[in-house]
Chains A and B, each alone.
Chain A
Amino acid sequence: MDFKKATTLLIEDERILCDMYKIKFDISGLRLLIANGGYEGLAMAKKEKPDLILLDIKMDDLDGFEVLKQLKADSKLSHVPVFLLTNMGEKGNAEEGLQLGAEAYIMKSKTVPAEIVSRVIARLNKI
């Protein structure tokens, strides 16, 4: 699949980070939608049918794991690959996320935006 035609949804409630990733994705020619929080994320996923979802775990309104569960429970969305994009320690959380159906566990502090973009592109190319 041509990544330039694909849509990626970022579910993240940290405003600074949202803005940062938005700029990077725009520059890289990727279409990025942003949802500020869990509930908004779920609603947008249903409406926009993204090709890939980047999901934060620690959000004030709805926990990322909960969002992931609902995404996987939805027959129309369950096939969409989900990358967990978080600053929570990997211990225990990565395991739980992968078990719930996430494809990757990316630590924000250890991964610069460029790397994230290339991982997203690599994954989209496979679709």
Chain B
Amino acid sequence: MSSLLIFLISINALNVILGLMILKKNRGSAVNRTFSAIIFLTVLWTGFNYLCDHPVLPELAIMWNRLVFTTAFLQGAFLFYFASIFPFCFRRVVRISKLILLPLGSMLAIISATTNLIVNKVEFLDWGTNVMPGALYGSFIGFMSITVIGMLVLLIVKYHRSKGLEKYQLKYLFFGFFITALITLTTNLFLPLITGNNQLAMFGPLSMVFLIAFTVYSIVRHRLMDIRLVIRKVILQILLSVIFLTFILGSIFAVATLLAKRIPDLKLVFTGAIAMTIALSFYNPLNKLLEKTANKYFFTSLYNYQATLEELATKLTKVIEMPRVIDLIVDTIKSTMGLDRAGVLLLSDERNANRYLIAKVVGFNEQNGVSLVRDNFLVQWLSNNRKMVVYEELDWMIEESQEDDEKSKLMRVKVNMKKIEASLCVPLISKDRIISIIVLGNKVTGDAYTVEDFRLLQTISNQAVVAIENARLYLQIQEFNKNLQNRVDEQTKEIKDQNTHLQELLKMKSEFLQIASHQLRTPLSAIRGLLSMQADGDFDKLPKIEYKGQQLKMLESSNRLSNIVNDLLDAMELEGGYLNFEFEPVALDEMIYAIMQELQPNYDKKKLYLKLVQPKEPLPKIEAEPKYLREALENFIDNAEKYTNKGGTTITLSRKNKHAIISITDTGIGIPKSDMPKLFHKFSRGDKSSYQHTDGSGLGLFIAKNIIDEHRGTIRLDSLGEGKGTTITIALPLTQPALPKDNKKK
């Protein structure tokens, strides 16, 4: 076997591996497929080239030669196509390549393989076979020049247009292609053309080593077609093989020459060494396979646990709601370990580390579970120790413990665990506190927990802590959002209500202004009109008695104006708190009699009665501000008359505990329920009243109410409805609290 053949075989073996790996990495990618095709064609081309010069049967020599050209045509077409699509497409070039060069190359390849148009004959020379060109040999030269040079040009253009990683990939790929193409074109195309023989054609295939080297380098360093990892593995494997081979050979030779003192049979040694190296390369996969199989039969759990952990981790990342997180944890643990019972307790009160709620229990007696979540010793113990508690281990822990106190505590834990039928308790600790406890029962098979089980539980609990913490936070955020929404709703409503109230006030104010301005202007226009007429001398022509009458009217109008102005000012002062209240003992009945006397003429005019009903036991004097109280009461009694057309008014005095009660009952138009709440507001009058008595300023009741308020009294309005009369009940305290002088309301 010649060294050339060995070299060619190694190159081609590497080539095949490379082609297969690239294809396997991404079978769908046109780039990978095309590159693999080029590699396989190159392998074939190299093989045919060798067979040309070393034909086993001389009559086949012409066929090998023709096949060399066939593969060369296809290589050319594919190289160009590859350059057009890698690493990005030049659309037009791709189209040319697909529509012209690939079909043309394939056609020429077929022609070359089946006819004598390219390779006419071969002549046998001492170094091998020489090609006698056929009629279309020129097409080979043309096609190969165009495709190979075109490919190199495309790679250069693309190199300039690309950036980063692609640039590096293109650079090395270009060097590989360039050197290989340069050598191959020289030895296999131009030299035969010039010299007339293709003696040096064998160097073409040899130059492939450059293409492979650069491609591999590009793959390893610059992620070309992204099979770095595989390549790395293969290189490591080869290195390992070489080291082993050297070591084996070295030891054989050393042993043979130093001990046996003779040179060993080289063939046997090489064969043995190569066989050993091949066997070694199977070490890793075989080892893994055996390990897996062994685990399957000897440690059932171990095999499942890996998968379980991965699965749980994946699932946990997808859920955020607490119930689903808990479901996942409980179900995973229970089913993987084959347990009869499993449950999770959650910290229910952030401030109390011993308060837990059952999040989920399966297979447990819930009543026992409930006893666990109350301030239970076991929970406390877990909180303090923060370690997994195993029921089976408690016995020897009790035996080993030195202190009696510790012993009794462990005993209690044991009792507690037995009570709730738990074999294992795992506290889940986050940021130095327990947020949850996993409680487990026994294995269905009756087996004991193994170290593997504990390791799995530890890992699961670490994942569970993160998941539960996340779910907690999520819950808190949701809660926060809900609260926030409620607060916003509440405040919006408040603002709306206030707004409505303000609008009502505004409406009342504008109504008041209308009424007040009218009320002020009417007496004013009478006074001014009458005075102007007097000035004009209009009254001079009137009889004396009529003149006097007009003067009285001026006075009447002035009084009216003055009343209204005073009302307005009173209201303003009351509202601003500027009135000075000086309390003194007042006999209520006397005050009421005086008011009645004053108002009697008005009542008489409308033929209404006005009477006072005294209590059986006379009322004591009350502490009051006589001027203002009289004003308020007069207002009520006057109002009663104004809104009554038939019947009359009854005033009743009585005493209730420390209050004097004055009830003023009329038989008037009454007050509709809807008017009642706003009656004591400033500027307000019942709707019905506005057309009846427009004299009032609309401030009477407001002023009266404020005066009663200043006396710390209360007013109640009762009316059975429209047309059914009204009762005003005023309660006044008999005494006023003594106030220091300077603390008095200003």
* A residues lining the B interface (CB < 8 Å): 14, 16-17, 19-21, 23-24, 27, 58, 60-61, 87-89, 107-109, 112-114
Contact = CB atoms under 8 A, between A and B. Distances in A.
A58 B528 contact: no
A21 B517 CA distance: 21
Given A109-B525, A112-B532, 19 more contacts: A17-B522, A17-B526, A17-B529, A19-B550, A20-B553, A21-B529, A23-B550, A27-B538, A60-B694, A61-B691, A87-B521, A87-B525, A88-B518, A89-B513, A108-B521, A109-B522, A109-B528, A112-B533, A114-B532
Nearest to A27: B538
Contacts of A24: 529, 533, 538
Given A109-B524, A109-B528, A23 B538 contact: yes
A89 B556 contact: no
Nearest to B560: A16
A87 B518 CA distance: 5
Contacts of A17: 522, 525-526, 529
Contacts of B517: 87-89
Nearest to B692: A60
B536 A20 contact: no
B507 to A, nearest CB: 14
Contact of B691 (A60, A108, A109): A60
B518 A113 contact: no
Contact of A89 (B514, B538, B541): B514
A108 B692 contact: no
B670 to A, nearest CB: 19
* Interface size, B (range): 20 to 34
Contacts of B526: 14, 16-17, 20
A93 to B, nearest CB: 9
Nearest to A28: B538
Contacts of A87: 517-518, 521-522, 525
Nearest to A91: B514
A107 B528 CA distance: 12
Interface string B523-559: 0111011101100101101100000001001001100
Contacts of A14: 522, 526
Interface of B: 513-514, 517-518, 521-522, 524-526, 528-530, 532-533, 536, 538-539, 541-542, 550, 553, 556-557, 691-692, 694
Contacts of B533: 20, 23-24, 112-114
What is the interface of chain A mostly: helix, strand, loop, or mixed? helix
Q: Which 4 A-B pairs have the closest CB atoms?
A: A87-B521, A108-B525, A112-B532, A109-B521
Contacts of B538: 23-24, 27
B536 A16 contact: no
A60 B521 CA distance: 17
A71 B142 CA distance: 115
9 contacts: A14-B522, A21-B529, A23-B550, A58-B694, A61-B691, A88-B517, A108-B529, A109-B522, A112-B528
Contacts of B550: 19-20, 23
A88 B691 CA distance: 14
Contact of B521 (A16, A61, A107): A107
Nearest to A85: B525
Contacts of B513: 89
Nearest to A14: B522
Contacts of B528: 109, 112
Contact of A16 (B514, B541, B553, B692): B553
Contact of B557 (A16, A89, A114): A16
B82 to A, nearest CB: 90
A49 B514 CA distance: 33
Contacts of B694: 58, 60
B694 to A, nearest CB: 7
A43 to B, nearest CB: 19
Contacts of B557: 16
B534 to A, nearest CB: 11
B197 to A, nearest CB: 120
A20 B514 CA distance: 24
B688 to A, nearest CB: 12
